Structure 1
Amino acid sequence: MPAAESLRAQQFRLAAHLRDPDGAAPPPGLEDRRLKIYRDLFYNSLQGLLAGNFPVIRKLLGADAWHVLVRDFYREYRCSTPLFPELPREFIQYLQERGDERGDPPWLLELAHYEWVELALDLSEAGLADASFDADGDLLAGVPVLSPLAWPLAYAWPVHRLSPDYQPTAPPGDATFLLVQRDATHKVRFNQLSALTFRLLQRISEFPDLSGGEQLRALAVEAQAADTDAFVAAGREMFKQLHADGVVLGTRIP
């Protein structure tokens, strides 16, 4: 075998061993004491990065189950990017593909997304300068503009409440609606949303050319409101609060 091919084969065999020490033999002639240094270095680096991004999952699973999960990820998944900040996203992709036969908690994937989204918004390069809007525009007559730094989220599980003392085995009857937002000081914070507020924000993204008034009237139909005018009046106050909180920036400039 040519030297280059031989070296490549050794590298792949070493990589397979580092990923799965119990299932893949290392290249011949390497002292196990030296191999252990690399096994520990690679795994501990990966585990440390994931633990820093998913501290709640690590705490809820406990040390043993956490290390089993990380070992599974390390052994089975092939990341599509070499960038360390993208590793949490790759971990979520792995959980999506992992299947239900492993006995994982049913809330694991949603909790992972909830923990990841804080990092994602913190690293987002979006800014208010990217949006064109009239901050003083009439939010019902004009087309509302959402902040690119405010993301509405919906979960079947109450991910913000999970703790060692609260780990439900079935999702509650009502979904959990949250808003993750990055403020002017670059701090990321979460707030709970009502179902109606979440749906309004969702509709603005789904139907970006409708005025605020049109959004509210359509939402009144969805909600089967008995009094559309009263619903729209209450919706105006909702828009005022969203504008004050920086979630709705203003209206689109024609």
Structure 2
Amino acid sequence: MDNLIMQQQALTRYLRDPDHQAPPADMNAARVNVYRDLVFNNVSQLLSGTFPVLIRIIGEQRWGLLVRGFLRDWRAQTPKFGEIAETFLDFLATQPQVMREGEWPAFLLELAHYEWVEMVLQQSDAQALPATDPALLLERPLQISALAWPLAYAWPVHELDPNNQPVTPPAQPTLLLVRRAADWSVKFSGLSPLAWRLLQRITEFASLTGREQLKGLAQEAGQSAGNSFMDNGLVLLRQMHEDQVIGLAP
């Protein structure tokens, strides 16, 4: 093998895992370590903007362990900086070796996902839904904006911080709606189980009208689809329409 290629491979192995790999024998150690620190610090800084709450909870030392494990054990397939955070989530989801040592918060992956969602929506190229007539919400099939994500977590991810780290999840899941508003700000709000299921149904049963969605929701919930339920459901649909969460399907 060409000596240059061997040096490049040795350098790459060292930059990924300086604790267990030796630097190239023919390279100046001080210069190699400059590259080592640059690679680590650049990746750490690139990721840290997406996961600030996670870092505050686990601390800089353990954050460094995660970044080092990511560099050592994971092979990112994207050249886009904006997609590295998603690749880091994939790494965390594998329960990597670094997380099998010591105590790590059980909510770590869900918190990381929750923080990542905000970044994704801020950077999304998706377009807002076109304006549609709210008077037709019951009569026409509906669609959910690509800029509105209904999410379900076992942990209260929106409440976690260094002073609030539960060791067991609550009995009920945390249901959230994350959406990007017209001013590009990302807004978070809680969802009732019925509201969350309604958004699920709009995706699952795309051909149903708003009225049919509400009737199906009532049946699933074991409730009567009487005037009270339908009126409350229409209020919810109108609010979601006003917030550009839903619109009429084309």
- Identify unmatched segments of 5+ residues in structure 1: none
Question: Which residue does the alignment assign to 1:117?
Answer: 117
1:137 is displaced (CA, Å) by 4.2
CA contact (8 A) 1:180 1:191 kept: yes
**Partner residue, 1:79:** 76
Residue 46 (structure 1) aligns with: 43
The TM-score with structure 2 as length reference comes to 0.93
What whole-Å deviation, never above 9, does each CA across 1:36-94 have from its counterpart, x for those lacking one?
11111110111111111111111000111111111111111110112111110000000
Structure 1 residue 132: Cα displacement = 5.9
Aligned to 2:60: 63
- What is the deviation of 1:127? 0.4
How many angstroms apart in 2 are the aligned matches of 1:191 and 1:88? 23
Report how many residues are paired.
246
**CA displacement, residues 85-124 of structure 1 (integer Å, 9 cap, x when unaligned):** 1110000000111256344211111111111111111111
Amino acid corresponding to residue 181 of structure 2 in structure 1 = D
Unaligned runs of 5+ in 2: none
Amino acid at match of 1:101: R
SS of the equivalent of 2:187 reads: strand
Q: Deviations over 1:154-183 (max 9, x none)?
A: 111100000111101111011111111111
Matches within 5 A, 1:124-163: 124-128=124-128, 131=129, 134-163=132-161
Distance 2:133 2:113 in 1: 32
| Partner of residue 197 from structure 2, selected from 186, 189, 199 | 199
Q: TM-score normalised to the size of structure 1?
A: 0.92
Whole-Å separation in 2 of the counterparts to 1:181 and 1:228: 29
Greater shift in the superposed pair: 213-222 or 93-102: 93-102
Write out the 4+ residue segments of structure 1 that deviate beyond 4 Å after TM superposition.
none
Aligned-residue Cα RMSD (Å) equals 1.6
**How far does residue 133 in structure 1 lie from its aligned partner after superposition?**
6.5
Aligned to 1:221, the other structure's residue is in SS state: helix
